[in-house]
Structure 1
Amino acid sequence: MPVHKLSIRIATYSLRYDSKPDNITVEQTLESLSDPMTAPKYMRKSGEQPWSTRRIKIWQTLVGEGVVLFGIQEGLTRQVHDLATLLGDDWDWVGVGRDDGKEAGEYNAIFYNKKIIDLREWDTFWLSSTPFELSRSNGSRKNRICTVARLAIKTQTGTIPFSLLNTHLDHKSDDARQLGASLVLQRARFEAFHAQGAPVVVIGDFNSPPAGKHAAAYEIATGTRAPVHLNATFAHRLAVPEGTLEDFKLQDMRGETPRAKVVGNFATSFPFDDPDNTSKWSRIDFIFGGSNGEWKSTLYKVGTSLTDDGVFASDHHPVFVDVTLRDK
């Protein structure tokens, strides 16, 4: 059977939640856009701006980069629906609010272009000792979740199946991050087995850089540190046969991309209130590929959230990858 392959652009974007809500609609924002031929007042604004100002820039960035699939972190219901409105009828999304499994709290939503990608099925689990029920990890102040979508790219001769996991690990507790990374790794391994070797992509805000005192979750994900003990029910339900994918890990696509094709920024996170304080810059937003393979990263880009009017669309930069997925 011939090998089919297709390249798509995937993104992850931690939005910064809607901390300054207002009643300005998407339509009002679009109507108020300035003349594109008129120069803005450069760096006129500073600090965190309302979502009603930031959302148009998020959408413009994603559309301008030509993504066909992306995941968000920190998005509240309004933010998810605003993005869906801006993206239009060609797009759809999946996800739930982490605080009730419906609409309350932040989403790890996955958006996909329906003209290019089919949704097969999806679910959510919580990053805790009871992953199949609404819960939080010991030491965490917030519920944390992972959204899993089984997708397929449409081709002229059929489809290429793959799985995408989108998560946001805890921002305070290292123990909670380690448990979260271990759960995500196990689910990614199960996806690789369940889909009979199809590509697995994991994206999200890990709140864990590749090195330093907070690196444990990243190390678990990438196989340089052992996972922590998992809930027995979760481990049993997501078990794979003994000897199968024993060394499965997540590979940081930044390091798997040709050096000349790694572009843009290095850091992905910075403080709104002091964006020039480089001591607080960090690389904590990632796109990983499962070590079972069937993917190849051809471009890795960390964009910018800053526009020349001084507005930061988020306190994270978006991360983009051009990835070729293969189906044997």
Structure 2
Amino acid sequence: MHVAKELPLRILTHNIRYATSSPFKGERPWADRVQPLLNELRYNTRHLESLICLQEVLHNQLVDILAGLNSKQQPDKAWEYIGVGRDDGCEAGEYSPIFYQPSIWQLQHWETVWLSETPSVPSKSWDAASIRIMTIGVFTHRASRRTILAMNTHLDDQGSRSRFEAAHIILRKMEEYRTGPAFGRTISGVFLAGDFNSQEEQEAYTVLTAPESPLADAAKLVNPGEHYGNYKTWTGFGYEGQEPSRIDYILLESTADKVLSYGRQPWKAEGYAVLANRFDDGVFNSDHRAVVIDVVLCD
């Protein structure tokens, strides 16, 4: 059987803003935001094999998104998701789900890790204001038989130490998969997506992209002159009294100046974009903008 040497892939991450019952000034209810968000997800995944990572998703939003993605989809291209609510490990609280198409991706394994001192149970530690999680999935591409370790997270918005410790948990978990007997020999590449609540000079970003880390910011792997769209990823709804900032990222395993233990560069980054979150109708689909990358998983 011929196996493709390279696998083109689109990865999209977006903090969609939870469906609050008390909207901020400038924020519209979820019922007004859901369709623009679905349009974004459908359009950006229509013709490319994709994985979607979302944050701040309550269960009712998860149901709406899954139904919306599948309402215009052929049955053999249906979407499913992995993830749980962070508060109880079932349906309570925010999810950080990963959406995938089973006809394209074979799910080998998945788990939720709580970013705390007790990572196997719903919990928070250090100075975290909220319970925080990471969703992990091992996916094998059915056509090429290439396997990807996908990680999606949402770090704390208030606790600096929590973000610092969570970044180290993430790196340890990645190493566990990379070197473990179950998947270590089969994983072709790893990515981490999410809302880090950390700017480039702050704790989570600096830990996750440090020289000794195997991860690198996808934005830095694409010529800045070729970036599409915006730079900043958090905008608010226009009345928060804070400047927009860049806190949402997709990190890829390895860069040219990092030498991995298995001696090769897994990814080639070909495109980077930060999408708009408001158009002519004036409705913000979220207080964050989506980040989209086009990559090739190399041989």
State the TM bucket, normalised to the shorter chain. 0.7 to 0.9
- Say yes or no: does 1:64 pair with 2:43: yes
- Where in structure 2 are there 5+ consecutive unaligned residues? 255-259
CA contact (8 A) 1:20 1:51 kept: no
Aligned residue number for residue 250 of structure 2:
287
Tell me, in whole angstroms, the C-alpha distance in 2 between the residues paired with 1:250 and 1:107: 24
Deviation at 1:20, TM superposition (A): 2.9
Tell me, in whole angstroms, the C-alpha distance in 2 between the residues paired with 1:3 and 1:73: 32
- SS of residue paired to 1:182: helix
- Say yes or no: does 1:162 pair with 2:162: no
Aligned residue number for residue 257 of structure 2:
none
One-letter amino acid matched to 1:73: Q
Aligned residue number for residue 91 of structure 2:
103
Deviation at 1:273, TM superposition (A): 4.0
Q: Residue 201 of structure 1: which of 179, 191, 196 is its match?
A: 191
Size of the alignment, in residue pairs? 275
Aligned residue number for residue 29 of structure 1:
none
CA contact (8 A) 2:139 2:149 kept: yes
CA contact (8 A) 2:277 2:284 kept: yes
- SS of residue paired to 2:61: helix
Tell me, in whole angstroms, the C-alpha distance in 2 between the residues paired with 1:3 and 1:65: 23
Deviation at 1:260, TM superposition (A): 3.8
Aligned residue number for residue 28 of structure 1:
none
CA contact (8 A) 1:188 1:290 kept: no
CA contact (8 A) 2:207 2:213 kept: no
- SS of residue paired to 2:246: coil
Cα-Cα RMSD: 2.0
| Alpha carbons of structure 1 residues 290 and 189: separation in structure 2 relative to 1, 3 Å | farther
Aligned residue number for residue 261 of structure 1:
226
One-letter amino acid matched to 2:192: V
Tell me, in whole angstroms, the C-alpha distance in 2 between the residues paired with 1:186 and 1:122: 16
Tell me, in whole angstroms, the C-alpha distance in 1 between the residues paired with 2:208 and 2:115: 14
Alignment of 1:208-287 (within 5 A): 208-211=198-201, 215-223=202-210, 247-274=212-239, 280-287=243-250
Tell me, in whole angstroms, the C-alpha distance in 2 between the residues paired with 1:77 and 1:270: 24
One-letter amino acid matched to 1:258: N
- SS of residue paired to 2:188: coil
Tell me, in whole angstroms, the C-alpha distance in 2 between the residues paired with 1:303 and 1:273: 17
Deviation at 1:274, TM superposition (A): 2.2
- CA deviation digits over 1:102-146, x for unaligned, max 9? 000000000012232221110001000111122101211210000
Q: Which has the larger radius of gyration?
A: 1
One-letter amino acid matched to 1:201: F
Tell me, in whole angstroms, the C-alpha distance in 1 between the residues paired with 2:221 and 2:158: 29
- SS of residue paired to 2:13: strand
Alignment of 1:31-180 (within 5 A): 47-66=26-45, 68-88=50-70, 89=75, 90-155=78-143, 158-180=144-166
| Alpha carbons of structure 1 residues 133 and 309: separation in structure 2 relative to 1, 3 Å | same
